[in-house]
Structure 1
């Protein structure tokens, strides 16, 4: 156990050292939030992957496949497909407009303070919804890897608090530049761990087609707590309740409507994730932003293929070895893991012993730390830049603005840790295929309902107005949160799967309200200039800048003539 803690300490110290050593030397919000807009395409793509491939991707996708078979692949499909609308509709125009953050972009595009403040609130809600499952995953990893707590805390609570505190310090010290390089390196290490485990599993004789066929010979069943003990409970076939569910067939978790709703929620939600979209503001140009997305799509495809393969391998290998390996008795019922998020961790220990478990645990913590870093930085940007500098203290010095951002990092980190401590993964394992992936999906739902429709309309429809966007964001958020809450409370009733992933309802509601209110209000007066910034060529933007400078010069000469 001591060696486990030493390994984690070395990891945290190495990550923190990189962040501090390459932190910006000039104390400015431009460097802290945007790294001077000097991040290259491949580096930014790897950093976005480090941001995006969170615990939900590293542990959650494999866990969802482990628990529900083919239906778990919808998570991988939706997560990977999420960057297609970003590539087609958002990345380049948003970067060409050139602001600090999502609220800054919307506030300036629509010339509205109310939109800026509304979007700050929405952004913070999304960040919290995304932060909590990352902290939950760190607690699960510590609990299995280390096995005991510090200072009288439970192992789960220790993992939550240590990971949150460590990454909070890294972000506060390193800013965007330090965070970018650490996230890029973390992603490459994460991918290397996946590749290693896949090679080891396949080298041991695992065959994906054979495993799926073998696992589908018997109906799908998962552990369920009943009274003081555990027992295997058959999984209901959501496509045909009168027939059993099988690992290699759809229906293990979602019906037709649920499958479609999940993919739409994940695909639309990506375009509204603050920690991902803020990275595009660091690209040098709009073209660089678009090429970055192409790289991300390629890397995402590789990553999720490996996640699906390993989730399937875990279901097959752990079941076959549960009767031979004594320590699996504490984690399984009938050869099936009680907590699906343990799948990759246990697979690592089976094939690599304690060192293999340590490597997978390190990968899980890397995924958690990397994503938490991006989320905290996005939170700092929206509070420090969009609220403190714009409204609370417009005459703030660069030093004051930086400290406001760092204070926001600390507050949001503490709040997310407190919320994560209230989650009990084992008690929720029977309700969802992966509690981590499911909780992250709720963040995607909120982002895809409140922000993505407004993004697309603001970028591509000239008639979008500030009041319309604010009303649309509020409507999308209220409908999404209300339906998700109803889904948790009444998940087994009728349309429960739609209630848990309601973007196909809440996003159109937000879009319709945005359009209706915009038609009744006036768009910004400088709309032609805004449109050139969004969609014009480099030559168009230079001509616009030259014309603006010329008009300023003429105005000054007229003033001097008086």
Structure 2
């Protein structure tokens, strides 16, 4: 373990814990714990959303996918960056105007159905689990590369998974949404600064790329050898499917969408999304540049740096997610490695924090407060959220330890990016169609929403499991990113079921709340006040 590694990790933990202590909730109310009192400003919230969204899959996975697959890997960046366009156009402002604690709560109240709320809880938890595991994997990879030693009898990888997840679980349980928001904002600034430094340094040195084709594995008795292939890994159909899956999935990600409930107004939510679009666009552009540079720089650096021999085979990294940390060490020595590895750890910690908080809101508020203990005090409800945070963290860490990445194949250039795609696929297939139609279609019914979520989730999971059993083909490319198919079927089911079931009685009022002008909403409130006063006089 190098002194730089110790200092870097200590600094990260101190900053994270320090921000949590300084910004801890001022009260024990659920609004303060889950929504930071709905007083988060535009700039702070945009930074926090970026910290929530730009995960280990973004920082390590996108560059790794570009490093391995060339142009194919860049489609991950396109899809991730495009995800906030549908959010800006269709979701952010109406969702905030309606106002709730979570996506499940929004759907349950909008459609006036406990069955819809509980169905959404199940889908949300599936998405969160699919997203949590690769973030914990990213923490383990970073510790393994930066420190290289395990603690308490665990391997270096398992130690990284367990420690990173434990630190975040404590931060979320103690700091709630307020502490998590400020942590994510600070962590995004640190993450972006590290990426910007590395991009400027690598670009200033110059690199020349003569082969942009994907790297293909060739089995040999000695292990993994790699050669440049003549064509891209996926056809155009697979590329389109991947971009659509990632773009539609964002609007169904619970940890990202829940942040919009913390904005003070619908206009603030929309403005926040504009800032996020600019920031994430810049981030992914830098990640693609660095993944491209790694294809040229790393093979040439093997002869000059003996330490690279342990990480490569035939001049190619055995674990593609090491691309950015290795570039950091090549250009900045131990300090550069420490900076980039710390950024990778920050990316994992920040997203895990958002996911655990979303899980806590779903179990603590949507289930415990509404069904298990409707008479719960605010203190009891917050305590339930904290307990579910710790349980979720333990489950994610356990699964991540079992899924240690040992390399790559042409069909899975980056484990963390691939696993996050699964989360986007479930969210985009099961939640996004229901959320968007609940906001923009008056004919939406509770039965249709439940049927749509079940259809989308089941079909998405079935398709990407099927893809793992299929040989390489255009059909496999399509079903491995199943949202175009699964979401389309879900929409058809929603429309058909809606035609045969009654829409909620409060559809008109909900529509006015989400889409009416400020004057319309004020007039409605005054009318209700007059009606209530008239009823009081008659009594």
Give TM class, smaller chain.
Answer: over 0.9
Q: Which residues of 2 match residues 137-536 of structure 1 at below 5 A?
A: 137-206=138-207, 211-212=208-209, 214-216=210-212, 220-224=214-218, 226-227=220-221, 229-233=223-227, 235=229, 244-245=230-231, 251=232, 253-492=233-472, 495-536=475-516
TM-score (norm 2): 0.97
| Aligned residue in 1 for 2:136 | 135
SS of structure 2 residue aligned to 1:451: helix
- Distance, in Å, in 2 between the alignment partners of 1:469 and 1:408 is 26
Q: Describe the superposition over 1:196-255 as per-residue Cα deviations: whole angstroms up to 9, x where unpaired.
A: 11111122233xxxx23x234xx64344554552222554xxxxxxxx22xxxxx2x211
- Structure 2 unaligned blocks of 5 or more: none
Change beyond 3 A, Cα 1:225–1:176: farther
Q: Which residues of 2 match residues 2-151 of structure 1 at below 5 A?
A: 3=3, 4-151=5-152
- Distance, in Å, in 2 between the alignment partners of 1:224 and 1:149 is 32
Change beyond 3 A, Cα 1:6–1:151: farther
Change beyond 3 A, Cα 1:383–1:224: farther
Q: RMSD over aligned Cα, in angstroms?
A: 1.4
SS of structure 1 residue aligned to 2:417: helix
TM-score (norm 1): 0.94
- Distance, in Å, in 2 between the alignment partners of 1:20 and 1:125 is 31
Please report how far the alpha carbon of residue 491 of structure 1 lies from its aligned counterpart in structure 2 after TM superposition.
Answer: 4.9
- Structure 1 unaligned blocks of 5 or more: 236-243, 246-250
Q: Describe the superposition over 1:251-288 as per-residue Cα deviations: whole angstroms up to 9, x where unpaired.
A: 2x211110000000000000000000000001111111
SS of structure 1 residue aligned to 2:224: strand
SS of structure 1 residue aligned to 2:403: coil
Change beyond 3 A, Cα 1:225–1:427: farther
SS of structure 2 residue aligned to 1:426: coil
- Distance, in Å, in 2 between the alignment partners of 1:304 and 1:555 is 58
Please report how far the alpha carbon of residue 431 of structure 1 lies from its aligned counterpart in structure 2 after TM superposition.
Answer: 4.0
- Distance, in Å, in 2 between the alignment partners of 1:227 and 1:174 is 52
SS of structure 2 residue aligned to 1:402: helix
Change beyond 3 A, Cα 1:362–1:530: same
SS of structure 2 residue aligned to 1:271: helix
SS of structure 1 residue aligned to 2:226: strand
Please report how far the alpha carbon of residue 65 of structure 1 lies from its aligned counterpart in structure 2 after TM superposition.
Answer: 0.5
- Distance, in Å, in 1 between the alignment partners of 2:113 and 2:365 is 16
SS of structure 1 residue aligned to 2:234: coil
SS of structure 2 residue aligned to 1:495: helix
SS of structure 2 residue aligned to 1:26: coil
SS of structure 2 residue aligned to 1:490: coil
CA contact (8 A) 1:223 1:336 kept: no
CA contact (8 A) 2:216 2:409 kept: no
CA contact (8 A) 1:322 1:335 kept: yes
- Distance, in Å, in 2 between the alignment partners of 1:295 and 1:87 is 10
- Distance, in Å, in 2 between the alignment partners of 1:271 and 1:227 is 46
Change beyond 3 A, Cα 1:15–1:225: farther
Count, aligned residues: 538
- Distance, in Å, in 2 between the alignment partners of 1:25 and 1:73 is 43
